[in-house]
Structure 1
Amino acid sequence: MSEAPDIPTAWRWLLERRPGTRGFFDDSLPDVVAAAYAEPRLRRFYPFPTHGTLHFLRSAPPWDEPDEDGLPFILYAGPPYAVYTPGYADLLGKAATLAEAVALVVSRLPPVE
């Protein structure tokens, strides 16, 4: 899979379902990406779909080490949609809609620097 080189491109490729990029084949991904993209605070993070989840990373590739920043992610096999802390350590909540799941993620983001 091809990784987008920067944050704006990653969002654009996901929204366009660009062939050959991570998650382009997943028919349930566009809805969660659109919901997340609608939230301006999430657009500053690199969207990283993997195994039915949408993670939010602080930087674009290349990654020297895993992105251990403690940001929550959405498990989008729903509804309900589950929001977890990294590594599935804690279930932060379940949401009936993707908008509610996005709001839960945003409520756990660190303050804007």
Structure 2
Amino acid sequence: MAEETVVEKTWCGILNRLPGSRRGEPAVIEAAYTEPRLRALFPFPSHGALTFHRNTEFPWSNDLPFIVGDVRACTVYAPLRASKRVLGESLTPQEAAALVVAHLPDDCGPAFEGPWPHRGTLTD
């Protein structure tokens, strides 16, 4: 049996609310986890947002769309330097997760372990 990756361990900790794991909106986290492409990325819940990263250690990639919201309504935002900031509003958690997937770059594969190698070079 293969050893769990950092991404898998992080998702497991968040979903199961294990001690030491970050906390986020359960409905949003569960909806994101059902999407295979998001499940392959590093999840980072903080301050009402669920961000996704291509890597597992700071500095983060910060170049992917993210979700802000709860079970009642979510907003999906483009990466910080994108020209159009809001990609969708008043969405269910499932709709928000699907919208993030629809806006992932084609080359966005599974997260790799370690810091983001392109520090300071965000693309739109």
Q: Is the 8 Å Cα contact of residues 28 and 70 (structure 2) preserved in structure 1? A: no
Unpaired runs of 5+ residues, structure 1, are: none
Q: Is 1:38 the equivalent of 2:34?
A: yes
Residues 88 and 18 of structure 1, relative CA distance in 2, 3 Å threshold: farther
SS at match of 1:109: coil
User: Aligned pair count?
Assistant: 102
Shift >4 Å, 4+ stretches: none
Offset from partner CA, 1:24-61 (integer Å, 9 cap, x none)? xx5xx211111000011111100000110000011112
Q: Report the structure number with the largest CA radius of gyration.
A: 2
- Which residue pairs with 1:82 in the alignment? 75
- Which residue pairs with 1:17 in the alignment? 17
User: AA paired with 2:68?
Assistant: L
1:105 maps to which of 90, 100, 104: 100
Q: State the TM-score, normalized to the length of structure 1.
A: 0.79
User: AA paired with 1:42?
Assistant: L
Q: CA deviation at 1:95?
A: 3.8
Unpaired runs of 5+ residues, structure 2, are: 110-124
Q: CA deviation at 1:96?
A: 3.0
Q: Pick the structure with more helix per residue.
A: 1
**Pairwise CA RMSD:** 2.0
1:71 maps to which of 42, 57, 64: 64
SS at match of 2:19: coil
